[in-house]
Amino acid sequence: MVKIAVIGAGVVGLSTAINIQELVPNATVTLFADKFEKDTTSWGAGGLFRPTFHHIKGDKELIRRWVQASWNFYSAKALSSESKEIGAFLIDGYSFSSKKEADPLLESVTFNVRLLSDKEKECKGFKYPYVHLISTITISPGQLLPYLMRRFQQLGGTSYFKTVASLEEFVGKFDIVVNCTALACRQLIGDESIFPVRGQLRRVRAPWIKNWYLTDDDTYLIPQANGEVTLGGCRQKGNYDLEVDEQLSEDISKRCEQLVPGVTGAEVIFDWVGLRPTREPLRVEKELMDFNGNKLRVVHNYGHGANGISLSWGTAIDAAKLVKDWTRQMSFTSRL
């Protein structure tokens, strides 16, 4: 029986743990984290499946494969009887841009991408040079994270609250450790290439808003499954401040109301701040770490930035395969 520890309980950590359980059925998988559900960055995500190469750096074919795998998983859920449980549903929306061409990554997934005609823009009152109508899906993180945790537990997984100061804590206790600790990697393993991109959003109650809207200056409205709408946003690279900026919240509301006047006066439910853990490129790889002569097999999976949902299932599949590779090496070594 192989003992595997997964550190981190955001969408990446949970997705990775589940994929390991399914790919390595002879393993016991234990999850450790100091943040769960509402305390994670994943919980506050807008949940719109709209990945673009503009915000994801690295090998484009690898990124495309990760996104495709995530799309296959989440779109299937949105079309299944589990859609209500996971908070995933089909939705049309409008992407406003100064560029005529849609992002090729976006066109490679989603159900449909179409450029609106000048007449259509005029009828809808859209002022941007180019507007694309996009049929995609959205996922409510507040429902997704509990769903993933239930699935993990149903597959035999256990979870513990733990603040990990060093991976050395797992030496001799686990055969393989999977690191999905995001920004904590700066302190945990000394990776200074990961950085925060601060985001702030406002959640309002507006069940009459049925489409999503997104501009290339990071103004967006994304309906949720419960009739709430997420308003955003901002991208503040290197900003670690987790306090709500009231002035920015009002600016977000103003921008969204200018874009979609129908949201004006909607009841404000809460404001939220999250730090998107960004690494360019994100890291999915094996590492044999050494702690005073004691070896530890590690698989890293972190740095997804603002595309945690769009990338998570795809990188989780690859991380699970790397865990499987470690188990094969262990089996081979034990036979020698």
- What residues pair up with 291 in beta bridges, in sequence order? 294
The annotation status of 230 as a binding-site residue, yes or no, is no
**DSSP symbols for 217-250:** TS-EEEE-TTSEEEEE---EET----S--HHHHH
Q: Give the residue from 213, 238, 222 showing the smallest Cα distance to 309.
A: 222
Angle at 185 between CA 324 and CA 32, to 5 degrees: 60
φ and ψ of 330, to 5 deg: -60, -45
Angle at 275 between CA 201 and CA 283, to 5 degrees: 135
The annotation status of 164 as a binding-site residue, yes or no, is yes
Q: Give the residue from 176, 206, 179 showing the smallest Cα distance to 190.
A: 179
Identify whether the C-beta of residue 41 lies closer than 8 Å to the C-beta of residue 302.
no
The annotation status of 114 as a binding-site residue, yes or no, is no
The annotation status of 81 as a binding-site residue, yes or no, is no
The annotation status of 310 as a binding-site residue, yes or no, is no
Sign of CA dihedral 330, 331, 332, 336: positive
CA dist 229 and 231 (Å) reads: 6
Q: Where are the alpha helices (DSSP H) in the chain?
A: 11-23, 60-78, 83-86, 104-108, 118-124, 141-154, 185-188, 246-259, 308-335
| Strands 212-215 and 88-97, sheet pairing | parallel
- Residue 257 vs residues 100, 130, 254, 313: alpha-carbon distances, Å: 25, 20, 5, 34
Ramachandran assignment for 156, one of left (phi > 0), alpha (psi -120 to 50 degrees), beta (any other): left
Eight-state DSSP code of residue 42: G
CA dist 172 and 294 (Å) reads: 8
Cite the annotated binding site for FAD by residue number: 41-42, 164, 181
Annotated binding site: 41-42, 164, 181, 276
Residue ranges for the known binding site for D-dopa are 276
